[in-house]
Structure 1
Amino acid sequence: MGLYQRWRRLRLPGLQACGLHTALEAAVPAPPACLVERLGLFEALWAAQVKRLAGLAQKEPRTIRVALPGGRRVEAVAWNTTPYQLAQQISATLANTAVAAQVNGEPYDLERPLETDSDLRFLTFDSAEGKAVFWHSSAHVLGAAAEQLLGAVLCRGPSTECGFYHDFFLGKERTIRGSELPVLERICQKLAAAAQPFRRLEASRDQLRQLFKDNPFKLRLIEEKVTGPTATVYGCGMLVDLCRGPHLRHTGQIGGLKLLTAEYTRRGFSEVKTPILFSTKLWELSGHWEHYQEDMFALQSPGSDRPTSSQSDHSTSHPTDTLALKPMNCPAHCLMFAHRPRSWRELPLRLADFGALHRAEASGSLGGLTRLRCFQQDDAHIFCAPDQLEAEIRGCLGFLRSVYAVLGFSFRLALSTRPAGFLGEPCLWDQAEQVLQQALEGFGEPWDLHPGDGAFYGPKIDVHLHDALGRPHQCGTIQLDFQLPLRFDLQYKGRAGALERPVLIHRAVLGSVERMLGVLAESCGGRWPLWLSPFQVMVIPVGTEQEDYAREVQQSLQAAGLVGDLDADSRQTLSRRVRGAQLANYNFQFVVGQKEQSNRTVNVRTRDNRRLGERDLTEAVGRLLELQNTRVPNAEEIF
């Protein structure tokens, strides 16, 4: 029996009994040869790993000590005892509810044998880490279904704070159809019910390239992210995917799964999103689904929100083929620093640039406003003396917090430290990382440590926002750079008269302006705050007799710099015009009738149909202007 036949028999049990056998047999095509070949290579590597671990367990039978929650200590056998076996010894309830483990502080599969003395903790769905494992495993099920049903080339399928999603590529002209989602969901449910184990495999870089030779997205990840001699791959049924893990023990722990009908497509690059998932099977929680709506952007030129006449929608050329296009601002700012002698009195020197930049992104990685080939960046570079570094970092963090507070975003900071292929002196890196850490600790916001994720030229602080779907976006960044000042031979005359080399800080708060706009649009869902809204006030006269006064109200709004529109369509009833303005998300409606005309007032309503009553026209316009200038997020509530 071939691999595909064995998989189908194992993965889809009992379909005839539930009446879906014929439908799914027709829906799921035979897997392409590349998937069968990949699974065959995985099975061979898995068998070799099992043999190797068994040999270690026999050759070095070693007793290890494990510290369990509550202070209890037990003995275990290295390369043999698993966290799941210890969970079973503690209680059946824990064995059923644990989704993963932490071993010496690191995430760990429940079925992965322990190797050394360990401090063991168990993760359940009640913790943020446990939810991430649960949803990440669910994303793998979705990826498996997409590969089988759609012939998808998988990109990424991470968990978010409220569920998970999966990106995959279907070809330049192919996008997922709404009619395919119900079938995809049914396949996901069957794959979950088949209780397929998640198997963790350590593979060398060469083995990884061989496994994913038909997936350009995975090959790019291997080249960019795999810095050590090996990385982990997880197999689950027919699916083989590059992944750090950990995962559930098997897909049967996923008790419920539903896909949203919303989808984002761009030249075949599709994203299927899911809301919060609860398992009624494992944790006896009543399921509920959170549905999201999002603004979609149709762009004229692939990878750019600036339409071009020289590139059609089907062109494979990149805008960066033109030498005149600028990929970054950093060298220009270094040349500006170096064009004349500098003194310590000029430092810190801060330069900013909002010019258009271009980047040669792969076509499959483009997405709406969040990843473009042509974009603007609030790119700033600070040249400072070493003893000014911490103060400048604190200033950058404070500026970042003030901007995000206005935009209404929460954020998470991450300190990324020295990678394997760093340039420069280790002692300089240590000093810089210490400065960044001290600045973060004094900043007072939570932050994470990402060892080895720094740029080759210096450590950095990354800033992650979350959009309305819970997807993280890296927007702002604060990076230290030791190499550009060296490469451009940047110098200034120090206090003692000797030439010294400045430290360079790359700083972006919004990151890509387009990406920030996309994240903000999804976060607002069309309900823009007053200070950003393109539809601030709709003036609505009750009858034709009030049209002249209504135009006067509109002119008063516009004279104050506010957006005021007029709906004097006498063919529509008053209630229909008010409702139309609310559906169009006008923050306010100013209704004027005979009484308001006589009193020179307006009757104020909000887009949520809150009736705020009659207000003096001058006072109402002044209040809107005050709310706009203070950039409050809830003008409708505090008007």
Structure 2
Amino acid sequence: MGLYQRWRRLRFPGLQTCRLRTDRKAVRTPPHWLAERLSLFEELWAAQVKRLASMAQKEHRTIKITLAGGQKMDAVAWNTTPYQLAQQISSPLAGTAVAAQVNGEPYDLERPLETDSDIRFLTFDSTEGKAVFWHSSSHVLGAAAEQLLGAILCQGPSTECGFYHDFFLGKERTVRGLELPVLERICQEFAAAAQPFRRLEASQDELRQLFKDNPFKLRLIEKKVTGPTATVYGCGTLVDLCRGPHLRHTGQIGGLKLLTAEYTRRGFLEVKTPTLFSTKLWEQSGHWEHYWEDMFALQSPGSGRPVSNPGDHSTSPPTDTLALKPMNCPAHCLMFAHRPRSWRELPLRLADFGALHRAEASGSLGGLTRLRCFQQDDAHIFCALDQLEAEIRGCLDFLRSVYIVLGFSFHLALSTRPSGFLGEPCHWDQAEQALQQALEEFGEPWDLNPGDGAFYGPKIDVHLQDALGRPHQCGTIQLDFQLPLRFNLQYKRQAGTPERPVLIHRAVLGSVERMLGVLAESCGGKWPLWLSPFQVVVIPVGTEQEEYAREAQQSLQAAGLACDLDTDCGLTLSRRVRRAQLTHYNFQFVVGQKEQSERTVNVRTRDNRRLGERDLTEAIQRLLELQSTRVPNAEEMF
């Protein structure tokens, strides 16, 4: 069995019997050059590893590292990597970093540092971090296309909101529709295998030998490689000419969704282009099934402005948006209107966390509570008049459940028809009665604000107070008769006659940034366990317990908890415990000789409560239980 076959059977055992039928012919086995190229790469990689190890042993010198905030650290030339430094700084940083900038140049996290360096870590929140993430994802698609289709790869760049990969299948060959699900599954399995990205420096002769069967790469080598060497990245079976940097391994990618295949021309040869977008989300929820028919609706013919429809996860994280806008309401109306609707689809609920923009005067801006660009948990519910009261009750119940978890009390106010209202008075009367009935059944106190409603409909405003007693209007439930009229929204009733829906605008958090600011002031730095960025710190008593402390930290992190390790030998145990309390770690796990021998931890809280010795596994399980129930006082309930 060859090298490629051994690796493939080890990593993807389910693919041994995976046969894709197209035109009653099974997909052919991977081409011979795939195994040959991988074998040569492994040979060159082994030589490079040996060479770097010899260089590190020969020089063995200390280099100086300067971080973005001015912090200084020591490292060992040709040995220490940016990822190791990130681990020393904090576990959350090591978990979120996708690459680094070293002396202003992009750099792999697992590439050893060579000289004194200024380092900045890149996360997905930055433009550069997104490019690294998506470009690494394109390598996964390239590897899958080589395995399944025997594709000859051309280029796989990142774009502003995702990535694609060009490859060539032959002049008469295209990507068939039945092949897309199989190609997607191989991508997902490849990502889940957590294959490392390995950076190899190769000479021009070695490059030509590696890519002797790929005319695209040979042309790039001829035109772009002007120096004696260039970089090649290996990842699983894939070996590709690339400048990098890349993720540490494919397991950081998460989920991948293959949307479509397109035919295109790139430069000098015909290529077939499947376009793949990443759907890695902060939370894994829902079903990521994409329906191309409902993917986009155009605002008007020729406008060129797309509006994402439900199920579109072509951007990541999900709060990204396709266009700058002052509100989400018109976009959701367009989604409703872009095809005929039936009474069976109502109520239709759409949500959008997209970025909104308002031209606030500079003097009115204030921290997180008033911004020009912010995100709002907008939801729009299209329903029939007889569904109105039930939908309002559902909105109120949802609002109460969220505010209870966040620890806020709130006050409700019903604002009714203003003097300059638009629409039919009978509709206003019916809507106000529905809102009032829902409020009375809700059971919370509320006030009446006569004439304070919007011109397009009555509303329920939700007010809360921050830690300084200042009121904030955050959540809202508004009825709207005008947008359905102005966008000519209709649905067919059961009898077949057209009817206009009622629109409910609903926001629970309101401005996410404003809510975060109010919540931060309310917590005063002492975040509840389920929301805390500093959940646990493990503190060894002495250097003899550092190995066990690191093992405890890894167990906590493997369970999904945010955990750091404090091995600062320059401070006494009491000073390190005090520092953890001032940092507001919810819990400190102190481990000494006794805890190490019995595999336990000594638990303390940020309020200096000593909870005593607990079994490590049981302590982790208890933390997970407290986190999942989102209790505000986990330290007292531990």
What's the TM-score, normalizing by structure 2? 0.49
